[in-house]
């Protein structure tokens, strides 16, 4: 009996050591989203829920964010290892902080086209970019669409715009009330927020930046230089697991939003499914994404964006496109084949 107990104890100890060893092999990654747990967060929550990160020996913690600028800053500070942020915000950080010791780098493009647009109500008479001349526009000061508006204005000869700043929850409310003529924002955010405030979809005018001469990239996965230097294998494993999950999200957005609902039970699943589908159609499975390949960037287009951001944001130094992007960690072409035929 004692011998049997001894053998059981040995077996239990061996199992415990093995389990501890397996846990020790998992690389912890703190990941910061660009925004709240809404539909698009499924892009990261689904591979986590399906165990793709775990299978890649990664212990990934995903936190909500409050804007791309904050995400870039937190990854730069070392508080987070990786994040999801607007490429323009990353470029601005690089150019305005040339001496910063830890400047994050984009390692995978996700929103090949910026989701930013100008939105107005039909009753305002705004139908084209030219109609924005002399109008009163509103957006939070850190809004990606507002920051990039000078690029949109230059491409469409717009002048005399007056800006009103507000907190994010008030943006669509002020437009619906008529306090401002138009707003900037991510289309899949503001259109649905306007509908939630009683505005009918047919009464909303949307002027997407990509449709009017602005070929900016949108959100990318970024990584800290420390993470890239000390654990490049983990960065590569993260991107491969993410790409695997992306295929599932695109294939079944409704199920993917279920993973968001599991993380934040108060979301409206139907609404967030619409938001996710809008994000996929407008920014992920776009013509540019299909031409360039999911996850990748086009060199000349990246250089043009760097120049435009330098001018529009009036940065301290010019953006160097060669230091904001590192595509060496991207998965194989087969793994990146996640976009369905349009």
CATH number, domain containing residue 86: 3.40.190.10
Domain hosting residue 88, numbered range: 14-113+217-329
Backbone angles phi, psi at 186, to 5 degrees: -75, 130
Is residue 22 over pLDDT 70?
Answer: no
How far is the C-alpha of 242 from the C-alpha of 236, rounded, in Å?
A: 10
In this structure, are 86 and 198 located in the same domain?
A: no
In this structure, are 107 and 155 located in the same domain?
A: no
Is residue 10 very low, low, confident or very high in pLDDT (cuts 50, 70, 90)? low
Global model pTM greater than 0.85:
yes
Q: How many domains does the chain have?
A: 2
Contact assessment for residue 37 and residue 264, using Cβ atoms and an 8 Å cutoff:
yes
Nearest to 63 by CA among 104, 89, 30, 40: 30
Q: 134 to each of 143, 159, 203, how far by Cα in Å?
A: 20, 6, 22
Q: Rounded mean pLDDT of 238-256?
A: 98
Q: Rounded mean pLDDT of 30-58?
A: 97
Is residue 8 very low, low, confident or very high in pLDDT (cuts 50, 70, 90)? low
Q: Each residue of 296-306: pLDDT tens digit? A: 999 999 999 99
Nearest to 283 by CA among 188, 145, 150: 188
Kind and range of the H or E run holding 61: strand 58-63
Domain termination site, one of 152, 185, 212: 212
9 domain-assigned: no
User: Which residues are CB-contacts of 203 (< 8 A; sequence separation ≥ 6)?
Assistant: 121, 122, 123
Q: Rounded mean pLDDT of 267-278?
A: 97
In this structure, are 275 and 196 located in the same domain?
A: no
Q: Rounded mean pLDDT of 244-254?
A: 98
Q: Rounded mean pLDDT of 230-257?
A: 98
Listed range (17-21, 47-51, 242-246, 286-290) with the worst mean pLDDT: 17-21
Q: Each residue of 63-93: pLDDT tens digit? A: 999 889 999 999 999 999 999 999 999 999 9
Secondary structure of 87-124 as H, E, C letters: HHHHHHHHHHCCCCCCCCEEEEECCCCCCEEEEEEHHH
In this structure, are 174 and 128 located in the same domain?
A: yes
In this structure, are 81 and 137 located in the same domain?
A: no
Is residue 103 over pLDDT 70?
Answer: yes
Q: What's the helix, strand, coil split of the chain in %, to 5?
A: 55, 15, 30
């Amino acid at each position: 009996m004692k011998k049997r107990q001894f053998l059981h104890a040995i077996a239990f100890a061996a199992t415990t050591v093995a389990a501890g060893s397996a846990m020790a092999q998992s690389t912890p990654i703190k990941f910061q989203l660009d925004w709240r747990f809404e539909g698009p967060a499924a892009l990261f929550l689904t591979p986590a829920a399906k165990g793709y990160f775990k299978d890649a020996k990664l212990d990934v913690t995903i936190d909500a964010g409050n804007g791309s600028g904050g995400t870039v800053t937190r990854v730069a500070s070392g508080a987070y290892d990786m994040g999801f942020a607007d490429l323009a915000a990353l470029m601005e950080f690089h150019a305005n902080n040339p001496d910063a010791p830890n400047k994050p780098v984009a390692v995978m493009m996700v929103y090949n086209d910026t989701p930013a647009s100008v939105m107005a109500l039909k009753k305002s008479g705004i139908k084209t970019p030219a109609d924005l001349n002399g109008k009163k526009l509103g957006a939070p000061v850190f809004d990606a669409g507002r920051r990039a508006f000078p690029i949109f204005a230059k491409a469409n000869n717009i002048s005399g715009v007056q800006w009103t700043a507000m907190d994010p929850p008030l943006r669509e409310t002020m437009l619906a009330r008529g306090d401002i003529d138009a707003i900037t924002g991510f289309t899949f955010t503001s259109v649905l927020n306007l509908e939630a405030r009683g505005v009918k979809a047919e009464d909303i005018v949307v002027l997407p930046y990509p449709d009017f001469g602005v070929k900016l990239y949108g959100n990318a996965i970024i990584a800290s230089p420390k993470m890239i230097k000390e654990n490049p294998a983990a960065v590569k494993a993260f991107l491969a697991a993410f790409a695997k999950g992306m295929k599932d999200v695109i294939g079944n957005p409704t199920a993917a939003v279920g993973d968001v609902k599991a993380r934040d039970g108060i979301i409206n699943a139907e609404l967030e499914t619409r938001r996710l589908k809008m994000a996929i159609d407008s920014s992920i499975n776009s013509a540019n994404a299909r031409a360039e390949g999911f996850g990748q960037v086009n060199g000349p287009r990246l250089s043009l964006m760097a120049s435009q951001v330098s001018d529009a944001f009036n940065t301290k130094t010019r953006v160097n496109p060669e230091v904001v992007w590192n595509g060496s960690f991207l998965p194989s072409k087969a793994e990146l084949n996640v976009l369905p035929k349009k």
